[in-house]
Amino acid sequence: MAEKEKIFNNGFNGILGNTHSMVLTALLLAAALVLSIIENMLPPLPIAVPGVKFGLSNIAVMYALFFLGYRKAYIIAVLKGLFAAVTRGVIAGVLSLFGGIISVTVMVLLLFIFRERISYLIVSVFGAISHNIGQFIVIILIFEGMNMWAYFPILLISGLIAGIITSTLLKLILPAFKRLI
C-alpha cells in the first residue's frame, strides 16, 4: 500500500501528518461543494443540452488526486455525491456519485499506467469525459428506452473543453494552494 501511495503522492508525501491531510481533504470537499454551487448560479450556457457544464468541482477532486493520493480523491467524490443526494434529490445524487467514481477511477488508471509520461491536461480531459460518460450510462439505465445517443458526441466534446478549462484553472490556482501546505 505504501508503494502505491508513493506513486500518487507527487511531492508532499511525508510532509503531511494525518491531521493535516484530513483537514486539507475536508477543505477540498468544501471547496468542491462551493464550486458546484457557484457553477449552478452561473447563467446557463447557450447550448440546449442538459448535462453540459464545466464541472468546476472537478478541480478540487483533481487536486486531491494529484497531491494527496487517490484515496482522498475517492473520498471527496463519494461525499460530493452524497451531498448532491441530500440537497438535490436521489437521482442527482446517483448521477454525481457514479460520474465522480468513474472519473476518479479513469484518472487513477491513467496515472498508474502512464506515470510520468502523461500530462495533467490529458488526465483532466479524460476525467471530465469519463464523468460525462458515467452520467450518460446512469441516465440510460434509469430512463430506459430514452434515445440518448444523439447526446453522446456532445458529451464527448464538452468533456474535452471542460477538461481543458479545469486543468488550466488548476494550474492557475496551484500557487495559492501550495501556500496552504
Partner 1 sequence: MDFFKKKDILIIIIILIVGIGFWYTYNNTPNDETVKAELYYYNELVMTIDLSQGIEKTFSIAQKPKVVFHLSEDGKICFIESDCPDKVCINTGEIYIAGQSAACLPNGLVLKIVSDDEDEKFDTIIGN
Q: Which of 38, 171, 178, 181 binds partner 1 (CB under 8 A)?
A: 171
Q: Does residue number 175 form part of the binding site for partner 1 (CB under 8 A)?
A: no
Q: Quick one: 96 or 167, whose CB is closer to partner 1?
A: 167
Q: Which of 26, 34, 86, 146 binds partner 1 (CB under 8 A)?
A: 146
Q: How far is CA 39 from CA 54, 56, 81, 105, 124, in A?
A: 8, 7, 16, 24, 18
Nearer Cβ to partner 1, position 75 or 125?
125
Q: How far apart are CA 33 and CA 78, in angstroms?
A: 12
30 binds partner 1 (CB under 8 A): no
H helix or E strand, kind and range, residue 80: helix 70-88
Site string for partner 1, 85-124 (x = CB under 8 A): ------x------------------------x-xxxxx--
Instruction: Give Cβ neighbours of residue 94 (< 8 Å, ≥ 6 apart).
Output: 81, 85, 138, 142
Q: Is residue 173 a contact point for partner 1 (CB under 8 A)?
A: no
Helix (H, G, I), strand (E, B) or coil at 119: coil
